[in-house]
Protein backbone atom coordinates (compact mmCIF):
# COMPACT_ATOMS: atom_id res chain seq x y z
CA UNK A 1 0.00 0.00 0.00
CA UNK A 2 1.29 3.42 -1.01
CA UNK A 3 1.79 5.53 2.06
CA UNK A 4 3.67 8.24 3.91
CA UNK A 5 4.50 7.20 7.47
CA UNK A 6 5.26 9.67 10.23
CA UNK A 7 6.53 8.92 13.73
CA UNK A 8 5.74 9.70 16.42
CA UNK A 9 2.06 10.50 15.91
CA UNK A 10 1.85 12.22 19.29
CA UNK A 11 4.62 13.71 21.39
CA UNK A 12 4.79 15.89 24.47
CA UNK A 13 8.22 17.29 25.21
CA UNK A 14 9.87 20.13 27.11
CA UNK A 15 11.58 23.26 25.90
CA UNK A 16 15.10 22.66 24.65
CA UNK A 17 14.99 18.88 24.37
CA UNK A 18 16.05 17.94 20.87
CA UNK A 19 13.63 15.79 18.94
CA UNK A 20 13.26 14.25 15.50
CA UNK A 21 10.05 13.49 13.65
CA UNK A 22 10.63 10.81 11.05
CA UNK A 23 8.94 10.61 7.66
CA UNK A 24 9.18 7.72 5.24
CA UNK A 25 7.45 7.09 1.89
CA UNK A 26 7.29 3.90 -0.15
CA UNK A 27 6.33 5.39 -3.52
CA UNK A 28 9.83 6.24 -4.78
CA UNK A 29 8.88 9.92 -4.84
CA UNK A 30 11.58 12.48 -5.49
CA UNK A 31 9.81 15.41 -3.82
CA UNK A 32 9.13 15.56 -0.09
CA UNK A 33 7.98 18.40 2.13
CA UNK A 34 7.10 19.27 5.72
CA UNK A 35 4.16 21.44 6.79
CA UNK A 36 2.80 22.67 10.07
CA UNK A 37 -0.88 23.29 10.59
CA UNK A 38 -2.14 25.77 13.15
CA UNK A 39 -5.69 27.00 13.80
CA UNK A 40 -6.44 30.08 11.74
CA UNK A 41 -3.13 29.88 9.86
CA UNK A 42 -3.68 26.84 7.68
CA UNK A 43 -0.89 24.68 6.32
CA UNK A 44 2.49 26.41 6.13
CA UNK A 45 5.50 24.91 4.42
CA UNK A 46 8.60 24.44 6.57
CA UNK A 47 11.12 22.78 4.27
CA UNK A 48 11.03 20.82 1.06
CA UNK A 49 13.38 18.52 -0.82
CA UNK A 50 13.47 18.09 -4.57
CA UNK A 51 15.65 14.97 -4.35
CA UNK A 52 18.39 13.31 -2.29
CA UNK A 53 20.78 15.89 -0.81
CA UNK A 54 18.67 18.77 -2.19
CA UNK A 55 16.67 20.73 0.39
CA UNK A 56 15.32 24.27 0.55
CA UNK A 57 13.43 26.52 2.92
CA UNK A 58 9.70 26.96 2.82
CA UNK A 59 7.83 29.84 4.41
CA UNK A 60 8.49 29.06 8.10
CA UNK A 61 11.89 27.31 8.43
CA UNK A 62 13.11 29.01 11.62
CA UNK A 63 13.86 26.54 14.41
CA UNK A 64 13.82 23.49 12.15
CA UNK A 65 16.36 21.40 10.28
CA UNK A 66 15.95 18.67 7.70
CA UNK A 67 18.13 16.20 5.87
CA UNK A 68 17.60 13.99 2.83
CA UNK A 69 20.24 11.29 2.79
CA UNK A 70 17.96 8.65 1.29
CA UNK A 71 15.15 9.01 -1.19
CA UNK A 72 12.50 7.48 1.05
CA UNK A 73 13.26 9.38 4.29
CA UNK A 74 12.94 13.05 5.19
CA UNK A 75 13.27 13.63 8.94
CA UNK A 76 12.34 16.92 10.61
CA UNK A 77 14.67 17.96 13.41
CA UNK A 78 13.88 20.41 16.19
CA UNK A 79 17.25 21.15 17.78
CA UNK A 80 15.87 23.20 20.67
CA UNK A 81 12.07 23.09 20.66
CA UNK A 82 10.12 26.04 22.00
CA UNK A 83 6.42 26.33 22.91
CA UNK A 84 5.68 28.22 19.68
CA UNK A 85 6.54 25.03 17.81
CA UNK A 86 3.55 23.29 19.35
CA UNK A 87 1.60 22.30 16.28
CA UNK A 88 0.31 19.54 14.01
CA UNK A 89 3.00 18.52 11.54
CA UNK A 90 2.47 16.85 8.18
CA UNK A 91 4.97 15.24 5.86
CA UNK A 92 4.08 14.88 2.19
CA UNK A 93 5.61 13.48 -0.97
CA UNK A 94 5.02 13.54 -4.71
CA UNK A 95 6.60 12.68 -8.00
CA UNK A 96 9.00 15.25 -9.37
CA UNK A 97 6.83 16.28 -12.28
CA UNK A 98 7.34 19.79 -13.56
CA UNK A 99 3.59 20.40 -13.69
CA UNK A 100 2.26 18.29 -10.88
CA UNK A 101 2.27 18.71 -7.19
CA UNK A 102 -0.21 15.98 -6.27
CA UNK A 103 0.90 15.45 -2.72
CA UNK A 104 0.42 12.33 -0.63
CA UNK A 105 0.25 13.28 3.04
CA UNK A 106 1.08 11.37 6.16
CA UNK A 107 -1.37 11.09 9.05
CA UNK A 108 0.24 13.90 10.98
CA UNK A 109 2.33 14.27 14.15
CA UNK A 110 0.87 16.30 16.98
CA UNK A 111 3.67 17.93 18.95
CA UNK A 112 3.29 19.73 22.26
CA UNK A 113 6.26 21.64 23.69
CA UNK A 114 5.90 22.60 27.35
The footprint of other proteins (CB under 8 A) covers 4, 31, 33, 35, 40-45, 48-50, 56, 58-59, 90, 92, 98-108
What does the alpha-carbon distance between residue 28 and residue 39 come to, in Å, rounded to a whole number? 32
Minimal distance, residue 81 CB to other proteins, in Å: 22
What DSSP state is assigned to residue 40?
Answer: T
CA dihedral 84, 21, 28, 69 (to 10 degrees): 100
What does the alpha-carbon distance between residue 75 and residue 69 come to, in Å, rounded to a whole number? 10
| Residue number with CB closer to other proteins (38 or 79) | 38
| Residue number with CB closer to other proteins (77 or 88) | 88
Minimal distance, residue 12 CB to other proteins, in Å: 17
| Residue number with CB closer to other proteins (15 or 51) | 51
| Residue number with CB closer to other proteins (46 or 78) | 46
Minimal distance, residue 13 CB to other proteins, in Å: 21
What does the alpha-carbon distance between residue 93 and residue 31 come to, in Å, rounded to a whole number? 5
Please count the helices (runs of H) and the strands (runs of E) in the chain.
0, 11
Minimal distance, residue 108 CB to other proteins, in Å: 6
Amino acid sequence: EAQVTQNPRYLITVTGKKLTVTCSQNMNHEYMSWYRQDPGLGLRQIYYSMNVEVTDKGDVPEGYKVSRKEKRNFPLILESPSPNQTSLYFCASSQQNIRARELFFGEGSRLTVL
